Amino acid sequence: MRGYTLIEVIVAFALLALALTLLLGALSGAVRQVRWSGDAGRAALHAQSLLDQVGVGQALEPGQRDGEFEDGRYRWSLAITPWADRALPPAATRDPAAMKLYELALSVQWGDGGPRERLQLRSLRLAPAGTEATL
């Protein structure tokens, strides 16, 4: 009766090890993608919540704000600046009682803040000119 030689067994184990290495590499990549997707989804929820609160109960004023969510796991930075349409006449020739537009630029970061770990959103808000707006 003929059996397997030692060389055949070693080659079979080497092929099995190579196949398992490739399989585990693919699975670890999938796990990273699932984790990134969950982190990005939570960052989007935090960003939406923060943007919904801007100007509610307090004046909408130009400036820079920053903070954290979930004990520092997510960090955010919000810049509020007056926005002007270049197609319109300069502000000095417009009606002083006209509404003003503000641009909100929000950046939410997690992890080490690399390009794949950052969410950036921009929005416009309308507020009365010359008065403190409580949108």
**SS3 label, residue 12:** helix
Torsion on CA atoms 124, 80, 44, 51, rounded to nearest 10: -70
pLDDT confidence band for 132 (50 / 70 / 90): very low
**Is this model's pTM higher than 0.85 or not?**
no
Determine, yes or no, domain membership for 135: no
Q: Is residue 134 part of a domain?
A: no
What's 51's domain CATH number? 3.30.1300.30
> How many angstroms separate the CA atoms of 38 and 30, rounded?
12
Q: What is the pLDDT of residue 1?
A: 56
Q: What is the mean pLDDT of residues 25-40?
A: 86
Evaluate whether residue 60 is within a structural domain: yes
- Which residues share a beta bridge with 63? 80
The residue-averaged pLDDT of 47-71 equals: 88
| Whole-Å CA distances, 58 to 61, 126, 127 | 9, 14, 12
116 within some domain: yes
Q: How confident is the model at residue 134 (pLDDT cuts 50, 70, 90)?
A: very low
| Mean pLDDT value of segment 69-85 | 91
Burial environment of residue 1 by CB neighbours within 10 A (0 to 12, 13 to 18, 19 or more): exposed
Count the domains in the chain: 1
**Overall average pLDDT of the 37-64 stretch:** 89
Q: Is residue 133 part of a domain?
A: no
26 φ/ψ angles, rounded to the nearest 5 degrees: -65, -40
Summarize the confidence of residues 9-17 as an average pLDDT.
Answer: 93
Tell me if 54 is assigned to some domain: yes
More confident residue, 100 or 66: 66
Comparison of pLDDT for 112 and 35, the residue scoring more: 35
Q: Considering only CA atoms, which of 130, 114, 128, 120 is closest in space to residue 51?
A: 120
- Residue 120 is part of which domain span? 6-128
Structural domain includes residue 1: no
Residue type, 113: G
